[in-house]
Amino acid sequence: MSKRSEHSSPWHPFSRVSETAPGVFFVEGPASNWIIVRDETGYILIDSGYPEDSALVRKSIEHVGLKPSAAKAMLITHGHVDHTGSAALFSRTFGTPVLCSPEELPHVQGHEKHQVTLGQVLIRAWRPKVLRWMKHAIAAGSLSATPATAAQAWTAEQLAGLPGSPEAILVPGHTPGNVAILFRAAGVIVTGDSFITGHPLSRHTGPQMLHPMYHSEPATALSATHALDSVEASVILPGHGPALAMPLGDALASLRR
């Protein structure tokens, strides 16, 4: 078994990549997820795991018949290292545009840091689940990550011209510029870490918030999800945990109980 994997068997795209809607591929990484969206104009990536997941990101792209060098853009839901791990590499190697919300740009570029601190983790490291998560994060390159200094802030018009016509919805609280990304025609919403469906520190699967230590503003992270109340989607793709095929409204109601 891979020493880095949180799963019981080696990571392989055959078991970790699923087409959750036409042209929308959900990739469940060893510790965080990423998404591939393609149409007749090309494809985009959303998030990219930890730095050491870069080979897996490439494998997943090739698994669905695409070339890593051909991505129209990589969209970043927020600047945490377990979601931006391949961004600098794709930007440097392939010239892939790395795009995020204007509010998140300083974080993605490395000028600001809105990340769980080592101290927050160490005071909880006596808990076996926290210790295992910390070991995996370190092995996955969290302490040596390279920021995506060439990242740019997107515009709504720019997003609309990308494969799948993504729409960004600002959901601050997890980080200042954290977003969910909607694919309206496909009925798919990528929630990133706005809310998730599972995590190594969690005891259950289903709509839930991350542990408060992961949020830059824990007191507002849950209330910020009201930005999604009027959104219609039936497929939910989180940053951690399995995909959900259920109405977004039902997931939000369950989250807030």
Taking the CA atoms of residue 202, residue 25, residue 144 and residue 198 in that order, the dihedral angle to the nearest 10 degrees is 0
What is the predicted pLDDT for the residue at 116?
81
Distance CA 88, CA 156 (A): 23
Q: Is 46's pLDDT higher than 50?
A: yes
Report the chain's mean pLDDT, rounded to a whole number: 94
Q: Is 5's pLDDT higher than 60?
A: no
Strands 42-46 and 33-39: antiparallel
Q: What structural domains and CATH numbers belong to the chain? A: 13-255 (3.60.15.10)
**Contact 101/170 with Cβ under 8 angstroms?**
yes
Q: Which residues of 109-134 are buried (b: 16+ CB within 10 A; e: fewer)?
A: bbebebbbeeeeeeebeeeeebeebb
State the greatest distance between any 2 C-alpha atoms of the chain, in Å, as a whole number: 50
- What percentage of the chain carries pLDDT values higher than 90? 83
pTM: 0.93
Q: What is the pLDDT of residues 223-255, one digit of tens each?
A: 999 999 999 999 999 999 999 999 999 999 999
115 falls in which pLDDT band (50, 70, 90)?
Answer: confident
How many other β-carbons are positioned within 10 Å of the β-carbon of residue 65? 8
What is the predicted pLDDT for the residue at 6?
43
**Contact 156/215 with Cβ under 8 angstroms?**
no
